[in-house]
Amino acid sequence: MKILIINCSPVRDGATQRIVDIVSDNLSSSNTIKKVCIDDYDIKLCKGCRKCHKTAKCFQNDDVDKLMAEYEWADKLVSVSPSYWADIPGQFKVFIDRCTPWCNTHEPHAKLSKGKKGYTIALRTGPNMKECERIISSIEHFHGHLEIESIAKIGFTSIEYKENLDNKLNEINNFCKIINS
């Protein structure tokens, strides 16, 4: 299987990236893994013009097509997102907004290959799981419009620093077993 793991945070060395690395290290060696960070891509804001509803393509020239090529490459997508004010980071939300050309709510629309599977991991600094559920819901909603089947999800609370993940390793490893299956 080809698995894309996306760090939905612009922070490349924090707790979110540590989860990305743990997941990558714990997936079967028979998989081909790619790791990306949303901050690796130059993504412009959606202008709301809806031209893409007629053309299935955005008029802006940036890296959205490049990141969508990674989505197309993958059989499985693992999105790892922290909470920024109780939801996904703005950079990832901008990417989602710009994926309107691939959204299945209008014709014509660009399409990813069928059969893709999605897995979501959310984390937040506070103790309430409700924010993780909101992040997961946002990502699963996005996957739904791209016709990516959401398979599994997990949330972690009280994660402010990478070190806070030390007592979550068993949970992450068990989640990797689901991705590997």
Q: What is the pTM of this model?
A: 0.97
3: which strand partners? 33, 76
CATH 3.30.559.10 assigned to 2-180: no
User: What does the pLDDT read at residue 136?
Assistant: 98
Q: Are strands 76-82 and 32-37 parallel, antiparallel or unpaired?
A: unpaired
Note the pLDDT of residue 28. 84
Neighbours of 50 (CB within 10 A): 11
Residues 6 or more apart in contact with residue 25 via CB below 8 angstroms:
none
Q: pLDDT at residue 42 above 90?
A: yes
Provide CB contacts within 8 A for 1, sequence distance 6+.
30, 31, 32, 75, 76
Give the integer Cα–Cα distance in Å for 65 and 20: 22
- Average pLDDT of the segment spanning 143-159: 98
Whether the per-residue pLDDT at 150 is higher than 90: the answer is yes
Arithmetic mean of pLDDT, 112-129: 97
Is residue 162 classed as helix, strand or coil in its secondary structure? helix
Banded pLDDT at 160 (limits 50, 70, 90): very high
Q: 128, 138 in Cβ contact below 8 A? A: no
Kindly state the average pLDDT of the residues 3-26.
97
Domain range summary for the chain, segments of one domain joined by + = 2-180
Q: What is the pLDDT of residue 74?
A: 98
Instruction: Say which residue the tokens 């806070």 belong to.
Output: 164
Cβ pair 8, 82 in contact under 8 A: yes
